[in-house]
């Protein structure tokens, strides 16, 4: 793995990779316009998205470049985070993000590849991303390219059996170019995972499926880079990064609140409350 | 037909390295030669239908052309969401080779009989549903599917059917005509029902010469639009399909009739009952039971009061 000091080339890390408060504000702006959105699930993955696109993934601006790293947001409902990060890095052209969820928008409540070339696959129904990623990763190996394939799943999404079908095949094919990131925020729409369906011990489960597992604070940018920026030749194993996150991170009202998993008809009063608690 | 399909995939793969085969839950030794000669293009994956469809979509995104083979019901029931989203929505170039269409697996019971798969697959936008009648047509469809964009669902009939497609008197698109299409009796078939219709036509002294058979291997409007004149001209139209009565060929033809102002009251249908069968026996037993037979066609003809 690369060392942080090499990535930063001696610069102050916090300057190169500032926190995501501005991105959170942008999500709030978009939600205010649309009056709806999956706020909590976006905020738990916002730092992961920002670090992936800003510091880890290679050749992301050329969709015909077969050497580019790929990303699939399997938990498509977290798309507000993906959209604001793509906007930050100039990957959505002139499209207006504030049109989110409106009739002619390219920004739906779940991301669509037919609308934006920066979106690898349309996602929304849970449990699809890892199998798509296995296909991309096997394809990359068959073509002798060195692109790395990232797929981000929610910890609630791990309830889906198809995730584990894909996991078994990732190990079978020795997909050391594949990295499955788990957004471990401990909640799903129905409540806490430990009450609904506890998937712990997660590290042991993933290791038993043959993953090389690392764990990090999903809001600590140095830890995220360490965990996500890997070299294929370090191992024959597919990678899993358990990112410990907080649902609704950075908006006091929404943090760890299942109420803010998804909301429609969000009032201006509610937006004001969220803004007041912006961290 | 399955043998022909897989062998054709192998032949295509030999000349095009983008073509790959993905199997799941298939018999030991399937495509052993391809596995040996083209190991990078052969994948025998675990029993995981949801996964293999997504896996194929990922490969297609990388420019490969996956042919995926497992039992028809395991695609059409277990992996429906993956087929809808990963294939149809994305227009992924993936060809599903569905073994055991209709009552082929009748001895194995209702978990294995594909009675509604044409309806469910056809209901999805952007997927081509093909029901070839014999090995010649299977080869035609496999080759065509490898060249066209978007996903296909190819339904296999029983094994060992003789080739009869080459007896057709006319071809329009994928449609095959057997006899002049101005005949008063029109029998429309898909899949292996062509064999039943051909038996009837060749044996029936009273009706054979008055009958035209049109075989429809691909159920889509641009094919059916070519049937307007024969449907208008015929006095009796009999539709044979190894499928439940809704959502298959008959339903599509009703739409065609409605679209072109054709009187559909002259249509008669032979099909599988709209229920899970709790009988076993052979496919032939079930076709007889459902009157998908020469005598069943005769009964249909006697039903007319013209």
Report how many domains make up chain A.
1
User: Is A7 within the bounds of a domain?
Assistant: no
For A123, the domain range is: 19-276
Report the predicted TM-score, pTM, of the whole model to 2 decimal places.
0.95
Per-residue confidence (pLDDT) for residue A12, from 0 to 100: 63
- Residue pairs between chains A and B whose CB atoms are closer than 8 Å: 93
CA A257 to chain centre: 19
Read off the DSSP letter of residue B200: H
* A41-87 pLDDT tens trace: 999 999 999 999 999 999 987 677 889 999 999 999 999 999 999 99
Domains of chain B: 2-155 (3.40.50.970), 165-302 (3.40.50.920)
Q: Say if residues B117 and B141 touch (Cβ distance below 8 Å).
A: no
How does pLDDT run across A177-235, given as a tens digit for each residue? 999 999 999 999 999 999 999 999 999 999 999 999 999 999 999 999 999 999 988 89
For the stretch B73-109, pLDDT in tens is 999 999 999 999 999 999 999 999 999 999 999 999 9
Q: What is the pLDDT of residues A187-198, one digit of tens each?
A: 999 999 999 999
Specify if A178 maps to a domain: yes
> What pLDDT is recorded for position A8?
44
Q: What is the pLDDT of residue A6?
A: 45
Give yes or no for a contact between B87 and B57, defined as CB atoms under 8 angstroms apart: yes
Let me know if residue A184 belongs to a domain: yes
Domain of A112, CATH number, reads: 3.40.50.970
Sign of CA dihedral B199, B205, B209, B210: negative
B306, pLDDT greater than 60:
no
A188 found inside a domain: yes
Interface residue of A64, A74, A139 to substitute, partner B, most B CBs within 10 Å: A139
Residue B46 has pLDDT above 90, yes or no: yes
Chain B residues lying within 8 Å of A162, measured CB to CB: 48, 50-51, 54, 82
E strands in A30-172? 70-73, 149-154
For the residues B167-175, what does the mean pLDDT come to?
96
Q: What ipTM is given for this predicted complex?
A: 0.95
> Does B81 touch chain A if contact means CB atoms closer than 8 Å?
yes
Residue A13 within a domain? no
Q: How far is CA A42 from CA A23, A45, A84, A186, B36, in A?
A: 11, 6, 10, 14, 47
Residue A173 domain-assigned (yes or no)? yes
| Chain A contact set for B23 (CB, 8 A) | none
Q: What are phi and psi of B301, to 5 degrees?
A: -65, -35
For residue A1, the model assigns a pLDDT of: 37
Q: Around B227, how many Cα atoms within 13 Å sit in the side-chain half-sphere?
A: 34
For residue A14, being part of any structural domain is answered with no
Domain-located, residue A112: yes
CA distance A48 to chain B (A): 23
């Amino acid at each position: 793995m690369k060392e942080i000091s090499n990535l930063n080339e001696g610069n102050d890390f916090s300057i190169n990779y500032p926190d995501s408060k501005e991105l959170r504000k942008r999500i709030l702006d978009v939600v205010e316009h649309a009056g709806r959105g999956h706020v909590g699930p976006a905020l738990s993955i916002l730092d992961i998205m920002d670090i992936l696109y800003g510091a880890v993934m290679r050749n992301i601006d050329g969709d015909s470049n077969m050497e580019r790293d790929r990303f699939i947001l399997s938990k498509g409902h977290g798309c507000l985070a993906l959209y604001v990060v793509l906007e930050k890095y100039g990957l959505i052209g002139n499209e207006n993000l504030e049109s989110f969820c409106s009739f002619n928008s390219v920004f739906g409540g779940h991301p669509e590849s037919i609308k934006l070339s920066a979106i690898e696959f349309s996602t929304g129904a849970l449990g699809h991303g890892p199998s798509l990623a296995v296909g991309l990763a096997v394809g990359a190996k068959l073509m002798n390219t060195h692109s790395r394939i990232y797929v981000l799943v929610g910890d609630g999404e791990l309830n889906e059996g198809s995730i584990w079908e894909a996991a078994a095949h990732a190990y079978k094919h020795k997909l050391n170019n594949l990295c499955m990131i788990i957004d471990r925020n401990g909640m799903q729409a129905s409540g806490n995972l430990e009450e609904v369906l506890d998937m712990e011990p997660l590290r042991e489960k993933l290791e038993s499926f043959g993953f090389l597992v690392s764990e990090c604070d999903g809001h600590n940018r140095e830890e995220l880079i360490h965990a996500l920026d890997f070299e294929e030749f370090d191992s024959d194993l597919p990678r899993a990064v358990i990112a410990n996150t907080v649902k609704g991170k950075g908006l006091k009202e929404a943090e760890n609140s299942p109420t803010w998993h998804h909301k429609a008809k969000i009032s201006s009063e509610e937006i004001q409350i969220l803004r007041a608690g912006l961290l | 037909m399955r043998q022909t399909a897989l062998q054709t995939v192998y032949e295509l793969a030999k000349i095009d390295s983008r073509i790959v085969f993905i199997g799941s839950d298939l018999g030991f030794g399937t495509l052993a030669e391809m596995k040996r000669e083209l190991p990078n293009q052969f994948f025998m994956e675990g029993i995981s239908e949801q996964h293999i469809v997504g896996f194929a979509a990922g490969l297609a995104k990388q420019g490969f052309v996956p042919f995926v083979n497992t039992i028809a019901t395991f695609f059409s029931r277990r992996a429906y969401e993956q087929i809808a989203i990963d294939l149809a929505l994305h227009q992924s170039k993936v060809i599903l080779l569905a073994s055991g269409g209709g009552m082929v697996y009748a001895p194995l019971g209702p978990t294995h009989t594909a009675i509604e798969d044409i309806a469910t697959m056809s209901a999805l936008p952007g997927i081509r549903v093909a029901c070839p009648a014999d090995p010649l047509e299977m080869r035609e469809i496999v080759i065509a599917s490898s060249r066209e964009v978007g996903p296909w669902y190819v339904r296999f009939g029983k094994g060992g059917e003789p080739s009869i497609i080459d007896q057709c008197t006319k071809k329009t698109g994928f449609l095959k005509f057997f006899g002049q299409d101005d005949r008063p009796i029109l029998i429309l078939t898909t899949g292996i029902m062509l064999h039943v219709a051909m038996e009837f036509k060749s044996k029936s002294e009273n009706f054979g010469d008055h009958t035209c058979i049109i075989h429809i291997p691909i159920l889509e409007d641009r094919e059916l639009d070519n049937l307007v004149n024969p449907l208008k001209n015929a006095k009796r139209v009999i539709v044979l399909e190894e499928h439940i009565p809704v959502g298959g060929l008959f339903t599509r033809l009703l739409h065609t009739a409605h679209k072109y102002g054709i009187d559909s009251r002259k249509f008669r249908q032979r099909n599988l009952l709209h229920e899970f069968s709790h009988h076993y026996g052979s496919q032939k037993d079930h076709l007889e039971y459902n009157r998908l037979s020469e005598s069943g066609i005769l009964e249909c003809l006697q039903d007319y009061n013209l």
